[in-house]
Chains A and B, each alone.
Chain A
Amino acid sequence: MSLNRIFAIAQRIILQLVRDRRTMALIFIVPMVIMTIVDLSFPKDSGQQVLDYIAPGLLAFIALFFAFILTGVSFLRERTQGTLERLMASPVSRGDIVIGYPLGFLPFAIIQSLIILLFTIYVLDVHYRGDMWQIFIFLILATVVAINLGIFVSTFARNEFQVIQFIPLVILPQAFLCGLIWPVEQMNEYLRWIAKFLPLTYAISGLQDIMLKGKGLLECSFDLIILVVFAAALLFLAIITLRRAPSG
């Protein structure tokens, strides 16, 4: 692997996104629109308590959802426009590509997460107990997992239609099984077992501990470590599945 090549890829992605003004606008405006809709949909008097409870899950889910779409579609575009093939024919390694990509997306995913977080706290007026910077760190970690998940999944897709099909397959089950709507502990045993293999479970659990119970990052270290393991494992799997030379 080469640091120079990793940074070249990351820098190129940043430059590409910054130059694409419409995508830039969508990256920042869409989370705000979604959070506004969430705000408007909750009745101000009786709904606030429910909103306070689901806010950690909502934060994690929305951050995961946006980061997954952003990276999944961008990585696939690299394949469909032929630039991935061009890269794979160069001395670049699969590791350079798979590490350079999340690095390039990270600044945008961080800004998106920050927008979602600030909206949740200041516009939705959600009550929380832990430190905001700790919530933010946790959210960024969840976002990194989503970026790597997006890259890993898009290595299996051959066109945009396929990657869009992965959204209901990969993202929606996490919304229902990871404690966003209903606590994982109250689900059937086999569903609890499935939830253990879904990264959103740990993102929601950690954020709930910080936001609802006022715990610190150290006290959430189990969820934190599992998310780091998820991020590393997905990166590793993406490197393996991004084949340089299929044989035939």
Chain B
Amino acid sequence: MLDASENRTLALEVENVSFSFGSVRALDNLTLSVPKGVSFGLLGPNGSGKTTLIRILVGLLKPRRGKVSVLGQPPSPKVASQIGYMPQLSALYGELSIAGNVDFFARIYGLKNAGARAELVDETIKLVELAERKKASINELSGGMRQRVSLACALVHKPSLLLLDEPTVGLDPELRVNFWNHFRNLTAQGITLVISSHTMDDAAHCDRLAFLREGRVIAQGTPAQLTEATGNPEASLEDAFLYFTKQEVSCNVA
């Protein structure tokens, strides 16, 4: 258990959480904590429980066992107003324009004043570099552009915690770099970012990481701590992931 002062500095706290889809166990006694103001990567192969964990954090799934604390509270519609959620699917309204989508989510997140909202919508669209195309309908956009609109919808209400489920999937290298520049700007403003990914390229950009495998956290720490733990000074994060996977298997065998 963490004491009260540590709790205040944590954006997320997950303790012994298990979740099953029928007979399939997606999360198995998972424990992790995320400090405020960092970019935290959930790294693991497909099916390791990353999306399930994020969906629990936003309140879309409810674990039967374990404790979840998001910004000091259990997931609820009240705390949801402080969270920005970008699901794996771009999840946008194809017939609406970029501005129409961002404005809709701004209203849903409680931004009532039309004038202030219009300014914020413009500012957010500018941030994802789509200002020139803000009237274009989503159906006319490329996959990468849709990802950027999806990020704008998650950002528009200025959340203090961003939960991004595989935000860089399908992006070209240039766009991926741009996304990470955005993310760094956000953490510099004190926003906490939780990003799920299965590519080690994303992992290298994160301040802290948790390696997930079969619904469990097999290691967590800074990228440097995780690579150092392998004992090989030349080890990459990929090597580190494989190292911890083997360690866990050997532990289980023993």
Contacts and interface: CB of A to CB of B under 8 A. Distances in A.
A16 B64 CA distance: 38
Interface stretch (B6-14, B78-86, B166-174, B222-230): B78-86
Contacts of A246: 61-62
Interface residues of A, number: 28
A83 interface: yes
A85 B60 contact: yes
Interface string A79-98: 00111011111111100000
A200 B173 CA distance: 57
Contact of B77 (A17, A91, A248): A91
Contact of B91 (A4, A5, A83, A245): A83
Contacts of A4: 107, 110, 112
B143 interface: no
A244 B58 CA distance: 10
A164 interface: no
B100 interface: yes
Given A8-B104, A12-B104, A16-B95, A89 B80 contact: yes
Contact of B109 (A85, A91, A247): A91
A90 to B, nearest CB: 5
Interface in B165-219: none
B95 A19 contact: yes
A75 to B, nearest CB: 13
B35 interface: no
For B26, B80, B88, which residue has the most chain A Cβ atoms within 10 angstroms?
B80
A82 B87 contact: yes
A81 B108 contact: no
A20 interface: yes
Interface in B85-110: 85, 87-96, 100, 104-105, 107-110
B108 A92 contact: yes
A78 B93 CA distance: 9
Interface string B45-69: 0000000000100111111100000
Given A91-B77, A91-B80, A91-B109, A245 B100 contact: no
Given A4-B112, A8-B107, A248-B21, A89 B93 contact: no
A15 interface: yes
Interface of A: 2, 4-5, 8-9, 12, 15-17, 19-20, 81-83, 85-93, 244-248
The 6 closest A-B pairs by CB, nearest first: A82-B91, A82-B89, A8-B107, A89-B58, A245-B62, A247-B62
26 contacts: A5-B107, A5-B110, A8-B108, A9-B108, A12-B93, A12-B104, A16-B96, A17-B95, A19-B95, A20-B95, A81-B92, A82-B87, A82-B88, A82-B89, A85-B60, A86-B85, A86-B87, A86-B153, A89-B58, A89-B80, A90-B81, A90-B105, A91-B108, A244-B59, A245-B75, A247-B63
